[in-house]
Chain A
């Protein structure tokens, strides 16, 4: 049968928080018996945008990661949960039963993604129930994807096989696959959040003046392996994204017919701006 999934494109998320607010609009002040009790006005983010800023002035990169209940196929929260407190529906949606989960604050810690929220007033652990009450009435998508202005969030109703094929073809990832929870929330361009970049700026003296060097070839090596190549832009800037930064050794080689070749070795423990790299005249 068709099941529900979300596909979130990290490259298209720009932290407008319309998803967070639409989820608040749906659940704050409304209870949907059988699905969820109402969300507190303040303090809960059933859809939460996390942000990671990398680099330093003047080269920075900001990535945003919308995180919510992953509606896992192997949900950690269900293991050891009291009977009936959490239900996995046939269509993939995980529902925290607003009656049977009452009082079970310990469930909050069971989510490795930190997306179970404790409602102090109602003594309820709460999560985003995938707008199941709306989908059950015939809605085709979730409030979050409906309101997303960039198309970063999409609701996908598909057979598991089809979803898996799509994940392969579009290089979709899930959050922390190593947890083994089999989330139903997929991410595109997730490297923008988790991986690092290196950038630099090429300058050189032309006709007696320091200028930005455009069009130089910049090749990136990891150890000896050539892994990427780019060209410096109008401002002499170049950037490589999606890099591992676990003390990894890299080297860039810069070539431009007007200047002597240059090689810059560096290690990455986090994203780095190498600053201005002055190219020397050819010997």
Chain B
């Protein structure tokens, strides 16, 4: 008998005793063993070694040898392999390779295999202490949200409170920046966004889905009554019934319709984590069952992705420049900061809570002059002060051109940089000066477009051109949100890119940012971001192959359906059966040019929708479309896996109740998006990696997403493949082991304490300042591995990603793609918005320009509605006669002209829809402009869904589905004309009769 044979035999024998021993020690494990009665067998392929285990009423017995009829069999190719795989310290690469190479497999009931392997795995973590006991009898756990990490205090299985993280002397200290003779150090704690503070109220929302439900008049074997989606109501069903229906529909749709008939659609960021997150579990699930993919548009980046990228590259950041160490550079060198369409105190960067707020408060101490360009006197302006310049929505590119005009005519730009690091300046200069079209883009010229006095533009341009200036563009400082999500969004981002090139981006004190990104934390310590794919194995659509796979080997997954549906065109795909789109692809500049069509060749149209969450009606554009798409039998089956009963979840045939991150295990690096959001952690004052404890048991009958997916997969024989036989905590531990954490903290310590603070970089060892290398003509020296090696035209690491390696005022990529595209010519030129004061006929009927930025108090649809605590904030929702209405901000004179008083209920409408809101009368907007946040979680039609007044607050009922430009697919919610009037209580849409004659006019430029 070989050593391996002996070892494996002993291990198999020992397993019986280990199971029984753990059951004696841990009652919950004893209970688990009582769940199933069956026989499992583990054997070598040649059956020379084998042992079978009988599970009977909680007792485990075993016998050596081969059982003729076991319920499940785990097979290893040889005793040697078995001896190496059945150890607790198993090498995951070897385990994965053994599975891939048919040396390790399982047969029999998939459900039992998953149960058996998870049970064996569970023994390894039983009894591990997690969380910290507190003096008051609570236990302190940790979790993470889109709005910051939380200490979660739990008593008797209930969350008592959730607070920011406060660090102690045992944790790494804060960094200090010395600037202008003073030391600046942030507080030794984390911050929370309003939606982070309200997380507990969302957890315990009365609108939680606690049981599986079925639409009352939906019968998968009879009448489906698809036209009644949204009105027919629900009845409670068992998990088994729900999962059987869903698995049955997956099988039916695949056999009846073939490849591509299932559409998997997830929202963005409703919870946080690396394991249970959508880019992990949902991607693996959709790849596993075989689903057509919803192609998201780069919703927050739009103009930067489709526009600015062509000037300077950075495709891997979707058209936003690198961010390193700009906080220190700004604090030491900068003299003026221009916030342009930037309200970080509202939007919190990306998941950054109020981390950067304390840094921006230092701007005053540093005597840095501030300017805010935004049609709304935003929260950043209100807190920090400074000059407010309010161009009409969507006119910003004209303002930018006039600034360039002043710089060109007065010589106020970095001529050396423009000459040496840029190309194509001359044709653009000729356009700005009016040499090619006879129209000099002077401050006076822009005044007609923007409403901003020419003298203000001259004063701004001169100051900017003579002082070292940071441009805080968009919500994160180098792009994102606001004006880039408008008809002129591409122009806006291109304009700002050109301005920054004229000033020599990368020069000390001259860069992108408003202290949101670029803090001096250590980004070299490895911990993956969510976009690295977690347990997805997804080698196509996550950062997995580049970032995580070598660290965390796992079974790969691949979506076999080649069919893609543009998220903004899902209704057309369903209702009209065909549509087109342009992709969100960051690997190269040219990736975005590859137009695709739906249906894909040889693929079935979509017949079944698997929806994860319910945000579309609040967050997409012209969203009555989505409602209509639900109410058709062209969609034969809709399942929605949702935490709350809200939004489009109310249009599903079957509802599967998922739980929040409080109720399941996960692990994450705060703010670390990874992928296209590389090093977003630099928003944090302290880089914190957290073990997201399972703080409480899932409420009601809700389950974690992973568990729901596993149980559906098991019905298809795919559960073992989906979860690799692991529990969620096992996956969390695998990710821990894949990171740099084991070098600095033990698993047991981390599991107990729940967080680790990565020490900040010492002053001399901080990252180089973003773009300095480019400004100085050196080799790239910042810690980002993009562009890809092949995208350097001459010497590796020298120059930008553009064809010339330089900043291109005249974009080579656009010249190649379509030099005659009037919407996106090779040099940036101004065109008035396709929906604004210049569209005269529409403007006469709908004279208010409505902008709809991301909400301040909720995040997408997280923490809005559902009786969350945010309802109590009158800037968020206003209670009138017991109903909580969404808020619209209306200029005081506009309100007065319409007889509207503060907190009156008003109807906001155009040809696309009508929404009832509470009016907030203000002077923080110029006349003719209205402001309401997007992303209402509540859709509450007062009549026929999709064709009546919504009083939930889905402002995106009103925004246009039109793409920013014909040859891109990008949303433009900030170009939206509406009328506002006192609400008379009516429930029908105004102007719906002739609906779309006007709205559709001028849409000839749309794709498809």
Q: Which residues of B288-341 are within 8 A (CB) of A?
A: none
Check: A203 CB closer than 8 A to any chain B CB: yes
Q: Which of A14, A29, A57, A151 is packed against the most chain B CB atoms within 10 Å?
A: A57
- B191–A24 touching, CB < 8 Å: no
Known: A62-B377, A210-B455, A236-B459. A16 touches B162 (CB 8 A): no
- B871–A42 touching, CB < 8 Å: yes
A26 vs B361: C-alpha distance in the bound complex, in angstroms? Answer: 28
Q: Considering only CB atoms, which chain B residue lies closest to A64 in the complex?
A: B382
A41 / chain B contacts, CB cutoff of 8 Å: 201, 206, 867, 869
- B379–A149 touching, CB < 8 Å: no
Q: Could you name 13 residue pairs across A and B whose Cβ atoms are closer than 8 Å? A: A14-B382, A15-B875, A21-B869, A21-B870, A25-B869, A57-B390, A57-B891, A60-B388, A143-B161, A235-B387, A235-B459, A235-B460, A236-B455
Q: Which of A16, A28, A146, A147 contacts B869 (CB 8 A)?
A: A28
- A253 → chain B, closest Cβ, in Å? 22
B856 / chain A contacts, CB cutoff of 8 Å: 16
B926 / chain A contacts, CB cutoff of 8 Å: 57-58
Check: A55 CB closer than 8 A to any chain B CB: yes
- A16–B377 touching, CB < 8 Å: no
A203 / chain B contacts, CB cutoff of 8 Å: 455
Check: B749 CB closer than 8 A to any chain A CB: no
The 5 closest A-B pairs by CB, nearest first: A149-B354, A21-B197, A24-B869, A14-B383, A212-B459
A28 / chain B contacts, CB cutoff of 8 Å: 201, 869
Chain B at the A interface: SS class? mixed
Check: B760 CB closer than 8 A to any chain A CB: no
- B869–A211 touching, CB < 8 Å: no
A149 vs B194: C-alpha distance in the bound complex, in angstroms? Answer: 10
B204 / chain A contacts, CB cutoff of 8 Å: 29
B855-879 toward A: CB 8 Å interface, digit per residue (1/0)?
0110000000001011111011001
Check: A20 CB closer than 8 A to any chain B CB: yes
Check: A111 CB closer than 8 A to any chain B CB: no
B786 / chain A contacts, CB cutoff of 8 Å: none
A242-267 toward B: CB 8 Å interface, digit per residue (1/0)?
00000000000000000000000000
Known: A24-B872, A62-B377, A150-B357. A57 touches B923 (CB 8 A): yes
- B924–A45 touching, CB < 8 Å: no
Binding site for A on B (CB under 8 A): 135-136, 158, 160-164, 166, 187, 191-194, 197-198, 200-201, 204, 206, 345, 353-354, 357-358, 361, 369, 377, 379, 382-383, 387-390, 454-456, 458-460, 463, 856-857, 867, 869-873, 875-876, 879, 884, 891-892, 922-927
Check: A224 CB closer than 8 A to any chain B CB: no
B922 / chain A contacts, CB cutoff of 8 Å: 53
A30 vs B162: C-alpha distance in the bound complex, in angstroms? Answer: 12
A24 / chain B contacts, CB cutoff of 8 Å: 198, 201, 869, 872
- B386 → chain A, closest Cβ, in Å? 9
- A196 → chain B, closest Cβ, in Å? 14
B924 / chain A contacts, CB cutoff of 8 Å: 53, 57, 60, 62
Check: A18 CB closer than 8 A to any chain B CB: yes
Check: A177 CB closer than 8 A to any chain B CB: no
Q: Which of B166, B194, B390 contacts A16 (CB 8 A)?
A: B194
- A150–B383 touching, CB < 8 Å: yes
A67 vs B471: C-alpha distance in the bound complex, in angstroms? Answer: 36
Known: A21-B198, A55-B923, A210-B455. A146 touches B383 (CB 8 A): no
Check: A237 CB closer than 8 A to any chain B CB: yes
- B188 → chain A, closest Cβ, in Å? 13
Known: A234-B459, A236-B459. A143 touches B163 (CB 8 A): yes
- A25–B459 touching, CB < 8 Å: no
Q: Which of B198, B379, B382, B388 contacts A25 (CB 8 A)?
A: B198
A198 vs B518: C-alpha distance in the bound complex, in angstroms? Answer: 38
Known: A14-B382, A234-B463. A150 touches B369 (CB 8 A): no
Check: A119 CB closer than 8 A to any chain B CB: no
Given contacts A21-B869, A24-B198, A143-B163, 9 further A-B contacts (CB under 8 A): A25-B198, A42-B879, A45-B872, A60-B923, A146-B166, A211-B459, A233-B387, A234-B387, A237-B387
- A147–B163 touching, CB < 8 Å: yes
- A234–B369 touching, CB < 8 Å: yes
Q: Which of B161, B377, B455, B884 contacts A212 (CB 8 A)?
A: B455
A143 vs B458: C-alpha distance in the bound complex, in angstroms? Answer: 47
- B382–A62 touching, CB < 8 Å: yes
- B212 → chain A, closest Cβ, in Å? 25
Known: A17-B194, A26-B161. A58 touches B458 (CB 8 A): no
Q: Which of A26, A29, A235 contacts B456 (CB 8 A)?
A: A235
A30 vs B136: C-alpha distance in the bound complex, in angstroms? Answer: 14
Check: A43 CB closer than 8 A to any chain B CB: yes
- B456–A212 touching, CB < 8 Å: yes
- B876 → chain A, closest Cβ, in Å? 8
A146 / chain B contacts, CB cutoff of 8 Å: 163-164, 166
A210 / chain B contacts, CB cutoff of 8 Å: 454-455
A57 vs B354: C-alpha distance in the bound complex, in angstroms? Answer: 28
- B881 → chain A, closest Cβ, in Å? 13
A44 vs B285: C-alpha distance in the bound complex, in angstroms? Answer: 42
- A17–B857 touching, CB < 8 Å: yes
- B872–A42 touching, CB < 8 Å: yes
A14 vs B194: C-alpha distance in the bound complex, in angstroms? Answer: 12
A233 / chain B contacts, CB cutoff of 8 Å: 369, 387
A143 vs B166: C-alpha distance in the bound complex, in angstroms? Answer: 12
Q: Which of A58, A60, A138 contacts B135 (CB 8 A)?
A: A138
- B379–A14 touching, CB < 8 Å: yes
Known: A55-B923, A57-B390. A147 touches B379 (CB 8 A): no
- B162 → chain A, closest Cβ, in Å? 6
